[in-house]
Structures are given as structure tokens and as C-alpha cells.
Amino acid sequence: MAPKTIRKAIADALEDLSKSDYDKFCYYLLSREEEPKVRRNKVEDRGFLVVADLLVRTFTETRALAITLQILREIDCNEVADTLEKDTRANSSKPGSAAESSAGGSDGTPSGAEEEHFVDKHQLQLINRVYHVSSLLDELLQKKFIPKEFYKETMALPTSEAQMRKLYLGPLQSTACKDIFYKVLEKDNPYLIEDLKKMK
């Protein structure tokens, strides 16, 4: 069976929400501070199909998926978020996708649907060798993938290993967060990425 498109998967996820959770989702969407912002008159009293289409048209499919997952987790709709991740995982990592590169996806996702994400595959090495976790935490906080309380708690931990373990037990279970982590690694630790890619 062919994987769902991201647009359809987002629409299905929004359809699965109760009315109160759907209203809460729309409220959080309108409350985003980052550009581009969604206009209130485009969302209020609109159905899930319209909002799903609006998300993709406003942010592009990949970014719309990340934002949808982020908001679903913020409003504690974790089961719906997990299903959305599962429905879109094969789609976003299938061979021939736009994000694919010779070493896998440019965001760290593997080129084959059954392979592990770079961040999962090298978990032990990353826990032991990423020393400046603050850059990742800053990025996740700015993009609203983690609340301020989680940010403060993690920054207060005494070692980078402890910070990394806390991240793996929490936000790094999300594919969207793994993709952000990979991008931060590319920027701050390019030599570490190259070294890990050489490992079998």
C-alpha cells in the first residue's frame, strides 16, 4: 500500500482530534510567533481539510508536518502525533524523495524506509561526543519543540552526557526533532558527522 501524502496524513490527524482538541490546535497555530504567521480568518470556523491544506500551502509539506507534530505534542495529543509520524515516515524517507542525498536524507533521515535515522543509529556515540548541547536546546526552544521548563531542567544538568540522555528520552523520540538535531550537528560538529558516517 502506498504511503499517505503528508497533506492527507495531516488532514487525517486533525480529523482524529476531538472538537475541543481541534479548537486548541487552531488556537496554538494562530499563537505562533514565527513567520510566516497564519491569519485568523483563514482558520476560524474552518474544517480540518481546509486547515491541513492551509498548513501545507503556508509552510511547505516538511515544515507543515513538523509544526503539526509540535502543536499536537504541546496540547498532549501524543497518540495522534505518534500515528502521524508513523503515517509519514515511509513517505519522507522513501528513495527518490527530494530530501534524499547520497548519504541519506539531507536532514539525517535515511534513504531507505526501513533504515534507522542517523540520530538513532549513532545514539551512544552522540551521547558521549556531543559536548555543546546548549546549541541544540536553544534551537528546539526557539522552534517551540520543548517548553521553557524542560529547557531549564536540561541546561541545569551537570554533564553533556546527562543532557543528551534527557533529550533522547524526551524530544528526540520525535522524527522532526531528530531532523533539527542533525541540522545543528551539521552546523556545529561537521567533523563528528563525517566520522560517524564512516562507521559501519
Q: What are phi and psi of 104, to 5 degrees?
A: 110, -170
Same domain, 62 and 135: no
Q: Which of 63, 93, 123 is the last residue of a domain?
A: 93
Q: pTM of the full predicted structure? A: 0.47
Which residue range forms the structural domain that includes residue 179? 101-197
160-169 vs 133-142: helix crossing angle, rounded to 10? 40
Question: Which of 70, 79, 61 is CA-nearest to residue 4?
Answer: 61
- pLDDT in tens for each of the 200 residues of the chain? 556 788 899 999 999 999 999 999 999 998 887 778 888 888 888 889 999 988 988 888 888 888 999 899 889 999 999 899 888 876 544 433 333 333 344 445 444 444 678 888 888 899 888 888 888 888 888 888 788 888 999 999 999 999 999 888 888 877 888 888 888 888 888 888 888 888 75
Question: Same domain, yes or no, for 54 and 88?
Answer: yes
Domains contained in the chain, number: 2
Alpha-carbon gap, residue 101 to 105, rounded angstroms: 5
67 lies in a domain?
yes
- In this structure, what DSSP letter does residue 142 have? H
Q: Assess whether 106 and 54 both reside in one domain.
A: no
CATH of residue 61: 1.10.533.10
